[in-house]
Each structure stands twice: as C-alpha cells, then as structure tokens.
Amino acid sequence: MKSSFPRPSTFLRTCMAALLLATAAASSSAADWPAKPITLVVPFVAGGTTDIVARTVGQKLSEALKQPVIIDNRGGAGGTVGAAIASKAPADGYTLFMATIAHSIAPGLYKRLPYDFQRDFDPVALVASTPNVLIVNEKVPVKSVAELVAYIKANPGKVNYGSAGNGSTEHISGELFRSMTKTDIVHVPYKGGAPMMADLMGGQIQMAIETSPSAAPHIRAGKVQALAVTTKTRSPAYPGVPTLDEAGLKGYDMTTWFALMAPHGTPPELVQRLNTEVSRVLQQPDVVKRFEEQGVTAGSMKPAELATFIGSETTKWVKVAKDSGATAE
C-alpha cells in the first residue's frame, strides 16, 4: 500500500542534509575547541582592577586549555567601548569578555548603548567580587569619613574625585557618596583605574572610591589613606577600616564584581566547559592567595545563576544611577 504522505521535495531534502551537516560540523568544532588562541576583551586599560583580575584568570585558563588567552584591553566610556566590540564578535568560544558591575550600571547612565548587555552576552562564570575603598591623597587633612565630609563642605566645588571613566563603578560610587552626604564634589573621569590612581597619588585629585585590587598596594605603601570600604561588612584585607555604613552613610552598600561572558549564541557546551575550568582556576591555592592579598573574593556561580544575578544587579543599579541624577553623556 502506498503511503498517503507526500515525499519530501528535492529542495527540502537538500535543506535537511545541509542542516545535519552544519550540526555535525558545529559539534565537531565544539569537540575540538580550543584549537587556537582565545581573546579576552578587557574593557579598561592595563593596570586597573579589571585588568588585574582578567590577567590572573587568563594565565591560568591558558594553562588549563593548552592555548594562549590573549588580553585585549579596549578601554573607554566606562567599559562600554569594550563591551560593544566584544558583543559583535563571532559566538565561537574564541572571544570572551570580562564584564563588571559597570555594565549593569551603564543602562541607567547612557541614553543609548551600542549593545544590550543582557541580550548580547551569555553569562559564563562569576569570577570575583571586591569592595571599593574610599581613599584620599596624603595632602587632604582628614583621618575619617566625618572629617572628609566636613572638609568638603568647607571647600565646596574644590574637591575632585576620580574614576575609571564615566559609568564606571568608581563613578557611581562617588555619585552615591555625593548624594548621600549632600556635598559638592567634582567628578574627574579617566580612561582606567591606573591613570586615575597616578593622579590621586600625585595630588591632581583629592579622593576616589576605588576597587580594592587597584588601591591595595598603594594603601599598604602609605601613598594613599583608606577611610572606609563600601560593602555592608568590613573587608578582611582592611580589618581596621570601617564601612561607609558604620561611618554614618546608613545603607551605603556596593560590591564590585567581575564576570566572564561570551557573545550571545556561543555553544552551550563551550559555556559549560569554560564555567568548569574557571571554577577550577578559582580554587587553586596561588589564585586564592593572590585574591585574598588584594581584598578579592573568588566567585562561584553556574551560568544560569549568573544570568539571574546580573538581571537583579541591573535592575538595582539602573535605579540607583537614575535616582542619583548621574549621567555619562
């Protein structure tokens, strides 16, 4: 008896064959990954905290994957230039992106962005988190947050705070400080944390609320003074330094985080492989020690957990940015 179903057309059979071949090729490509160097786009200049974290993890991933992980610093516009570049890269596992809390803040500061952070990237792994530290240069005659606030109020418009750029975590940390203390401080954006720290130590600016890894060596060397940390609890790296909440800014709470991302559409098996490898890297004793010395806590999240976390952080910080009146344009 003849089948009542029509036979597939030649065109349909050709399409089905092409689809099967493409699927097989993709599976083979994923199985062979990585077969060449991997580029890790870092959206800030060399020497800052994001760069420090990226290079620490990148070196260890190179060893684990048997391929070089090349750091590509693409600083500018509070990390959004690098994000735009990475979002347009092929989703083949050979381009990764080191995102930060700044990318959850940016939608609240910029009217238009050339990418959508949650739509154009696939979360891979939470790499690390760290407090920011309120620091002042040696020429500022204060020893506490209360004294700093009094000094600023006695010198309105004359105290400058630096950041790694418009839209960076230092920027929103400073704006939150300004709005909560009702003080007149002036924002000075840089292209990254390293040049900002150089000017802070040189006396060109008076204060900053900088991420811990970038600030830690200069605090230990006595080149800048730490007045407070931005997290709700004190940092083990600075046990004698109070939180801003303790110092009178009730409710001030900011933790800077760093997350490995991939362009949207990266094969799920590669995302999972990377998550596994990053988790192993973050458990290595020398990485744990290096992070602890800089006041950094290693991350631990599966890709789905990280997606949820980023969603909640974006909702939170977009509101904070808008409520503070801060803009990046």
Give bridge partners of residue 40 from the DSSP assignment.
Answer: 71, 96
Can you give the pLDDT at residue 14? 63
CATH 3.40.190.150 fits 37-130+256-324, yes or no: yes
Question: Distance between CA 227 and CA 250 in Å, rounded?
Answer: 16
Any idea which residue has 């709005």 for tokens?
179
Of all helices (H) and strands (E), which one includes residue 136?
strand 121-137
Question: Distance between CA 190 and CA 162 in Å, rounded?
Answer: 7
Count of positions (residues) in the chain? 329
Domain boundaries, the chain: 37-130+256-324, 131-229
DSSP symbol at 232: S
Give bridge partners of residue 123 from the DSSP assignment.
Answer: 261
Low-confidence ranges of the chain (pLDDT < 50): 1-3, 5, 22, 24-28
Residue 256: HSE in the Cβ half-sphere, 13 Å Cα cutoff: 28
Q: What is the dihedral of CA 246, 249, 250, 252, to 10 degrees?
A: -100
Q: Do the first three CATH levels of 37-130+256-324 and 131-229 match, i.e. the same topology?
A: yes
Asked whether 229 and 243 are in contact (CB, 8 A), the reply is yes
CATH number of 131-229: 3.40.190.10
Of all helices (H) and strands (E), which one includes residue 162?
strand 159-163
Question: Distance between CA 138 and CA 206 in Å, rounded?
Answer: 9
Give bridge partners of residue 162 from the DSSP assignment.
Answer: 188, 208
DSSP symbol at 107: G
DSSP symbol at 183: -
311 Cα distance to chain centroid: 14
Can you give the pLDDT at residue 9? 60
Task: Quote the pTM value.
Answer: 0.84
* pLDDT, tens digit (0-9, with 9 covering 90-100), for 100-117: 999 999 999 998 999 999
Cβ of 49: how many Cβ atoms within 10 Å? 29
Give burial (CB, 10 Å; 0-12/13-18/19+) of 242. middle
Asked whether 292 and 132 are in contact (CB, 8 A), the reply is no
Of all helices (H) and strands (E), which one includes residue 217?
helix 212-220
Asked whether 132 and 44 are in contact (CB, 8 A), the reply is no
Question: Distance between CA 195 and CA 25 in Å, rounded?
Answer: 46
